[in-house]
Amino acid sequence: MDYMGKKKKWLLSGVALLISAFHLIPFYILITTALKERGDFSSKWVFPKVLAFENFAEAWETASLGHALSNTSIITFVSALLLIIFGSMAAYPLARRQTKLNKFVFMIFIAVMVIPPLTALVPLYKLVVDIGMMNTLEIAILNNVASFLPLTIFLYSGFIRSTIPKELEEAAKMDGASTLGIFFRIVFPLLKPVTASILIISCVFIWNDYQFAIFFLQAEEVKTSTVALAGFFGENANRMNLVAAAAIMAVLPMVILFLLLQKHFVKGLASGSVKG
């Protein structure tokens, strides 16, 4: 492949350019739609002459996107934090102590990974109603944490087993450190690469979550950005400009983060795609 001819190289580069252009089309249409004035029914392919930035302001207000995005941020941030603390803590004994009990518990976590969350929707909904947690951010956090814990534990325990030397912990133990002390002061800092992956996987999926949110967060004050957008679309189907503007604002934070931390995103999501 190093001996590729100049002609062939340019030809293949042209193909890559076409692929990029093809994949950018929907985003181009999204942007032109969002920037057209109300009553401008010109073709979506034509970039608007007058840029209607007021669409963004109106969509932000009427869809109460600010509030929705702050709900989404809280849910994402707290869930990720809990996942990392409780997931890594759970993975440690499962990776290090091969007792019968631990092998069995590890099997439970793996088995749960296979259950598609939505198939248990009906009973889960009943459970949430019964414990009186409908329309609370807490239930969204707990659901998301529970559904990502098995993957988190799987990734952490694999990493602890294969890369963290036992000698470090044994030395600390002789110095009389407590188990939690050893874990959080010695083992946890060494888990940085896998923690980064888990942070990215959980943030992307929880930020974008709609399946849990639509069931458990229907009240105005707890709506997340996806639920707000779905509702906004239902009410404004004839005003595409506003919906497009809202869609852009809802995806922008994650897109910016992705462009800044691209390498980490790609690596992290690849290890998490086991869950799909």
Q: In the range 51-80, which residues lie near another protein by CB under 8 A? A: none
Measured distance CA(170)–CA(62) in Å, rounded = 59
Considering only residues 234-273, where is the footprint of another protein by CB under 8 A?
A: 238, 240, 243-244, 247, 250-251, 254-255, 258-259, 262, 265-266, 269-270, 273
Contact at 8 Å (CB) between 59 and 242? yes
CB of 53 to another protein, least distance (A): 18
216 binds another protein (CB under 8 A): no
Phi/psi at 208 (nearest 5 deg)?
Answer: -90, 0
Check residue 219 for interaction with another protein (CB under 8 A): no
Q: In whole angstroms, how close is the CB of 190 to another protein at the nearest point?
A: 16
Q: How far is the CB of 43 from another protein (least distance, A)?
A: 4
Q: What is d(CA 23, CA 32) in angstroms, rounded to the nearest whole number?
A: 16
CA quadruple 122, 128, 132, 133: dihedral sign = negative
Q: Is 116 in the site for another protein (CB under 8 A)?
A: yes
| Radius of gyration for the alpha carbons in the chain, expressed in angstroms and rounded | 24
The yes or no reply on residue 38 touching another protein (CB under 8 A) is: no
Give me the least distance between CB of 54 and another protein, in Å please: 19
> Does the footprint of another protein cover residue 81 (CB under 8 A)?
no
Of the candidates 59, 69, 137, 145, which one interacts with another protein according to CB under 8 A?
145
Q: Which of the residues 154 through 193 are near another protein (CB under 8 A)? A: 154, 157-158, 161-162, 179, 183
Among residues 186, 185, 191, which one has the least CA distance to residue 158?
191
Interacting span for another protein (CB under 8 A) from 47-55, 59-67, 188-196, 206-214: 206-214
Core vs surface per residue 121-153: b (16+ CB within 10 A) or e: eeebeeebeeeebbebbebbbbbbbebbbbbbb
